[in-house]
A and B are shown apart, each in its own frame.
Chain A
């Protein structure tokens, strides 16, 4: 277990990890002969661990949040689906070219009752990353091809047909920048999704759960409510690519992350997102179950609120929401 943790340890988590190990050792030593002295130092060490964790996680830089958003132990789309629904049935294929494992989706029963609301059938879909080398390659690192976006649109239209709400989970380093993706119209696939999602006559709750890069994320990101997990990021470009273009070097990713204002706290200020979903101290990867639960509560509450609108109101508000995005001056 310790070995696995070391492997996925983020730089800034190291001091915390060392202290936690020390605590673990002391606990092991302690077993058998509990003395007041040992107890006292144990409690003091526990306090130090908790203070350090809080101080690290309350002062995260934007780049550190990007690192957390990409942590391999962070819950991915299928983890959220498993945690929040029963009876998920995955649907495959865009009916035009193929199936894209970087985009997954299907109908399921969303367990709203766990949060004091009702259980209901939903269409739930999102980009899917892999956890090991083989799975990462199979899932194309969560970077969909055009058929991924077209499958997503097919599923969302099915949801509309059966009058079921849609939950999308955004987690992608971008749409796949490949030769075949271009041949098959990556741009057109994304554009059409933006257009169609703006007028799908059912509630859409969009959730940013990790990486949120560019049109590849937005391709399933138009909806009535935009929720964002505390340590997810969302922008027009990844910090690395931004660094490479504007600084002409890959070395300025931290500066680029700062400049792009890509965190949930930044984006709620400029109206790009509606709600920040808090994560456990230590990030979603430190307690995936708790993180999934927080997201579920937010989704359930927002679905319930959206029930209060007629379809006409829903669509009018959705258009107004995106119509109002942007900051400029009129001279």
Chain B
């Protein structure tokens, strides 16, 4: 896919946004509070050169970072969230959806793609926090499910990149059911002996963690990502005390046994290729 075509479609990439800012703009790093040159940050995969704080990337950024020659084919970006519950809080869900679509150029908070990584065909899906907090409603459940089915059908590994505040409140129980839907479909991938790699990015919480994000054969996390079920605020309220430093961060979650490896963004593609070589070479696949 050409650079131009993507721009024309209005898909935002966080990397490109930073690279294209006027020279001399600065960003304050939430990790070390240092001022960072925006363009340099963009050229460093949005990772702080001083403290390795990982700023959020978009699904488009991850696809471009991970696929061979930045070549991939997007699927299911024609799936659109509707408003099955006629949900209104301070704002109508339909208005929220319309505004978010316009602002982000995305149809929802998950996108699927296929392509090659290190020569291996893979089915991939990645999430966008900018779309209603990366929340999972019916569309996200369906996009992930179709990515799983695509992997099963084409007998390829599945790679899911997670970035989500959890299930989407505005679709009520239907959002909750997406946890069961994705988990149930993953049993089929497992039956076929196909690898499932999860890359957890900041943040991955709630219903996404409690479903496909924690069902991988391999769990890779970016450094310093918030990973958990309940949010820190609610846990602080429950416990009535401050939480320990680094609580629910990648390193903490790895220490407690739920993450295999923490990999810096610049090494992600290399690590994926290494794993895919190990999994896919000379492995006879079950039908």
- Residues of A at the B interface (CB closer than 8 Å) are 175-179, 181-188, 190-192, 194-195, 198-199, 214-215, 218-219, 221-222, 234-237, 241-242, 245-247, 252, 255-256, 259-262, 266-267, 270, 272, 318-319, 322-323, 325-331
B28 to chain A, nearest CB (A): 26
Interface of B: prevailing SS: helix
Further contacts, 14 of them, CB under 8 A, given A198-B184, A260-B85, A319-B185: A179-B243, A183-B256, A187-B214, A191-B209, A194-B184, A199-B187, A218-B180, A221-B180, A241-B234, A245-B169, A272-B173, A272-B174, A327-B82, A327-B84
A222 to B182: give the CA distance in the assembly, Å.
Answer: 12
In the assembled complex, which residues on chain A have CB atoms less than 8 Å from the CB atom of B104? none
In the assembled complex, which residues on chain B have CB atoms less than 8 Å from the CB atom of A177? 229-230, 234-235, 238
A319 to B207: give the CA distance in the assembly, Å.
Answer: 19
Query: What is the number of residues of chain B that contact chain A, defined by CB distance less than 8 Å?
Result: 61
Given A215-B229, A259-B88, A260-B85, verify A194-B79 contact (CB < 8 Å): no
- 3 cross-chain pairs, A with B, having the tightest CB-CB distances, nearest first: A326-B138, A177-B230, A194-B183
Which of A191, A260, A322, A329 is B212 in contact with, Cβ under 8 Å? A191
Given A259-B87, A328-B138, verify A182-B239 contact (CB < 8 Å): no
**B82 and A222: CB pair below 8 A?**
no
**A222 and B173: CB pair below 8 A?**
no
CB of B113 within 8 Å of the partner chain: no
Which of A178, A187, A242, A318 is B169 in contact with, Cβ under 8 Å? A242
CB of B65 within 8 Å of the partner chain: no
CB of B279 within 8 Å of the partner chain: no
In the assembled complex, which residues on chain B have CB atoms less than 8 Å from the CB atom of A218? 176-177, 179-180
Chain A binder among B15-23, B47-55, B120-128, B139-147: B139-147
**A328 and B229: CB pair below 8 A?**
no
Cβ proximity bits B190-207 to A, threshold 8 Å, 1 near / 0 not:
000000000000000011
A171 to chain B, nearest CB (A): 16
A146 to chain B, nearest CB (A): 9
